Amino acid sequence: MSDEDSVRFDVAGNGPDENELALRRAEMVHQQLEPRGISDRRVLDVMSTVPRHLFVPERLRKRAYSDTPLHIGEGQTISQPYMVALMTEMLGLTGSEKVLEVGTGSGYQTAILAELGQFVHSIERFRSLADSARQRLADLGYANVEVHVGDGSLGLDFEAPFDAIIVTAGAPETPASLCSQLAEGGKLVIPVGSQTLQRLHLVEKRRGLLSSKESTGCVFVPLIGEDGWEA
């Protein structure tokens, strides 16, 4: 990666300049998202404001706005900005939705959803990631988020139904548990395929019936759980 692809820190090494960070977010939107077809203005606006660099390990903050996923510990990653934007756009959030996120990770996608929906329930199987994301989101003032620890492939039946469900891990098939927790008119976005290559699926519930459409190819860490892959 060239120096131009990373955020510049000040001469004392204390951290990035806020104007520089705003510029990098704007460049991320204009160079990575809009040319690939992301057009939902609300999604683009929130991607330009949420501080992605605060959701990655400190050693990787200079790469926070690069066009790539980054490791966050426990064998997990923060998704490429484009994939975050694409999956969010597919949900078509308007601001009134109760959202379920499967795979909290660093909490970055959670923050994006919290900006665009009414309330977000997020579930993470690694307690260490859940605890750090919960604290990070609280520090940033997100009061409309609750982070749970558990088997995300089973969803959160006690909080269902959900207007939108997003799964940030690849599944062998769309979990029946998640489909059953969709509200009427709800949407579910999930990567489906092998453990090494998936395609995004958009599942919608209309008049009690489910329909599914395939979208772009992608690569996510596997969805481990009872309705996913075995550990």
Tell me how far apart the alpha carbons of residues 176 and 207 are, in angstroms, rounded to a whole number: 17
Q: Cβ(97)–Cβ(118) under 8 Å?
A: yes
Tell me how far apart the alpha carbons of residues 43 and 39 are, in angstroms, rounded to a whole number: 8
Neighbours of 76 (CB within 10 A): 20
Tell me how far apart the alpha carbons of residues 155 and 27 are, in angstroms, rounded to a whole number: 35
Q: Cβ(167)–Cβ(191) under 8 Å?
A: yes
Angle, helices 127-139/108-116, rounded to nearest 10 degrees: 50
Tell me how far apart the alpha carbons of residues 61 and 76 are, in angstroms, rounded to a whole number: 16
Active site residues: 79
Q: Cβ(91)–Cβ(166) under 8 Å?
A: yes
Q: What are phi and psi of 150, to 5 degrees?
A: 170, -165
DSSP codes joined into one string, 98-133: EEEEE--TTSHHHHHHHHHSSEEEEEES-HHHHHHH
